[in-house]
Copies of this chain bind each other. A is one copy, B any other.
Amino acid sequence: MTHFVLDERLAGDSLPLGASELSLLRLMDNALVPWLILVPKVDCRELYELGPDDQTRLLAEINALSRFLHAEFAPDKLNVAAIGNLVPQLHIHLVARRRDDFCWPGVVWGRPEREPYTPAEAARIRALVAARLAPGFTAYGADV
């Protein structure tokens, strides 16, 4: 775990939000839709390759993040997915979809539309993480 390095493409496409014991929590840098990326700090590519304890932990984190998205963004549907065709490092997408969002009912993956967050918007979401996801997740300061 100490030598875990976030994939460069994931790092470039997303902003740091926080971390748990198991995972990094990132915000896809696209204000068009609330889109979290959960990255377990493990060396495997597929969900089923995770050890049973890490699987249980990851499931609990997915539950917590799903409830968070549901409470804060009132989605019509959550999209939860492990894909990884472009970035093989294991990561879970959690996307809060709404019927009036930019590509409903299509999926967000592969869409070119992008609107980077303003610093104020990103800070607001980081503050929500700090307020709602502790103690499971520790939010990063706005300077990270």
Chain A residues packing against B (C-beta within 8 Å): 45-48, 55, 59, 62-63, 66-67, 70, 77-86, 88, 97, 104-107, 109-110
Interface of A, helix, strand, loop or mixed by DSSP: mixed
**Which residue, of A78, A85, A107, has the highest number of chain B Cβ atoms within 10 A?**
A85
Q: List 20 A-B contacts (CB under 8 A).
A: A46-B66, A46-B77, A46-B78, A47-B63, A47-B80, A48-B62, A48-B63, A48-B70, A77-B84, A77-B85, A79-B81, A79-B83, A79-B84, A83-B107, A85-B104, A85-B105, A86-B105, A106-B109, A107-B109, A109-B109
Q: How far is the CB of A82 from chain B (nearest CB, A)?
A: 5
Q: Which residues of B contact A63 (CB under 8 A)?
A: 47-48, 55
Whether B97 and A106, one on each chain, are in contact in the complex, defined by CB atoms closer than 8 angstroms, is no
Complex Cα gap A62–B106 (Å): 24
Whether A85 lies near B79 (C-beta < 8 A) is yes
Name the B residues within 8 Å of A109 (CB-CB): 106-107, 109
Bound-state Cα–Cα, A80 to B58, Å? 14
| Residues in chain B near residue A81, CB distance under 8 A | 79-83
